[in-house]
Amino acid sequence: MILLTFSIGFLALGGTLLYVGFLVFLMVGLLRLRRPTGTSTPSISVVVPMHNEEIGVRATLEALLAQAYPGCWEIVCVDDRSSDGTAAILQEFALRDARIRIVSISPEEEDVPSPKKRALARGMAATQYEILATTDADCLPPSNWLATLASSFSDDVDIVQGPKHLMGDGRACHRYQRLEVLAFVAAEAAGFALGRPFLASAPSLAYRRTIYENSGGFRGLEGLVSGDDDMLVHRMVHAGGRPAYAYSPSASVGTHPADTWTQVLNQRARWASNGSRYESVSYVAFLLCIFLYWLWLLVGFLPVVTLSLPAWLWWAPWALKFPFDLAFMFLAALRFQKLSLLLPDTLWALPLQVAIAVRSAIAGHLGWFRWTREADGG
């Protein structure tokens, strides 16, 4: 029993120190964020993949056309086998503004595990400008979005990530997602600020055509359900791409949340499905360690009760984790001007995130999710 207690205590302490050290790393990155000061106006192609988007695509296209960007730019809309009114809406907008071009994927083409990656690759192949930017068909970029991304590019920058935020109403699952996305955005911002990006998000992402092509683009990633953003960024950094973060809360892209807890769980499982498929072995090992640590937080009380292990083996990791979580979330909210999100939801959302993360990792790797707009609620 003494050996078992020592072994579990060592692993629990090790997991806690790894996690706390990671949060400290992220907080250092958040403190290093600086607003872009460049004035460059490179030519930009914005690629927007779409599948059955007639409900919200008008608002997205209106927001894109309202960009206050003085440089040359275009919007490449990829209609991925839509069966609703998406195609007609795209034709309407293309006739209205010559900057909008349409790429269509035929309904007769075979299904693939990641249709979004195929749509993005087709769109990228049809672009004509130096910088390739992406956003989603249900997003609302502010008018200074393109200008902010562009101002972050310099001679020593190849990849630029911008912020996003979740919209929605006051229901509990929307409030939870807003906090979770704030944590994700803060983590990706910190990674980019420190030159070590590990997370990325497609609603506000841009990169040079040369680094996209030199890295191989999405080639070899087609069989993976998710990862059209962070996996591609990992690949581009490995190919020599130099990252920067477009830190400007006013340029944050609005995106829609999942509307039910079922949709939240489905979406998170899909996101987690590639956790063991990253090309970096060390990153996969890190994710596995964090998963095992969170699994202990979730179910560690069971061996404590059934095997009469000391109770501190379970509650001590929680007690050490929670204050660092709160510190990280406070700094994230401060830096991204979202302090109003913290109370009172943080107190119940942080423990719930552990349960959702563990469940998502298991469900994602077992294939317990669906890759449809309806299943994700977005």
**Domain range summary for the chain, segments of one domain joined by +:** 2-28+277-376, 42-259
Q: How far is CA 83 from CA 79, 105, 107, 325, in A?
A: 10, 12, 9, 44
Q: 278: number of CA atoms within 13 Å, CB side?
A: 22
Task: Give the SS3 label for residue 193.
Answer: helix
Quote the CATH superfamily of domain 42-259. Answer: Spore Coat Polysaccharide Biosynthesis Protein SpsA; Chain A (3.90.550.10)
pLDDT number for residue 19: 98
Position 370 scores a pLDDT of: 83
CA dihedral 361, 364, 366, 367 (to 10 degrees): 170
Respond yes or no on whether the N-terminal peptide bond of residue 49 is cis (omega within 30° of 0).
Answer: no
Structure tokens, 110: 């075979």
Please say whether the dihedral angle defined by the alpha carbons of residues 326, 329, 334 and 340, taken in this order, is positive or negative: negative
One DSSP character per residue, 316-375 reads HHHHHHHHHHHHHHHHHHHHTT-GGGSTTTHHHHHHHHHHHHHHHHHHHHHT----SHHH
User: Which is nearest to 71 in space by CA: 96, 49, 93, 99?
Assistant: 99
What is d(CA 316, CA 210) in angstroms, rounded to the nearest whole number?
49
Torsion of CA 62, 68, 69, 74, to 10 degrees: 10
Burial class (CB in 10 A: 0-12, 13-18, 19+), 378: middle
Q: At what angle do helices 346-366 and 261-272 cross, to 10 degrees?
A: 60
Beta carbons within 8 Å of 79's beta carbon, 6+ residues apart: 50, 51, 86, 87, 90, 102, 103, 104, 105
The alpha helices in the chain, defined as continuous H runs, are: 2-31, 57-65, 86-96, 115-126, 145-151, 172-193, 209-214, 230-238, 261-272, 281-299, 301-306, 312-335, 346-366, 373-376
| 97 close to 65: Cβ distance less than 8 angstroms | yes
SS3 track for 1-31 = CHHHHHHHHHHHHHHHHHHHHHHHHHHHHHH
Please state the pTM of the whole predicted model.
Answer: 0.94
Residues of the chain with pLDDT under 70: 372-378
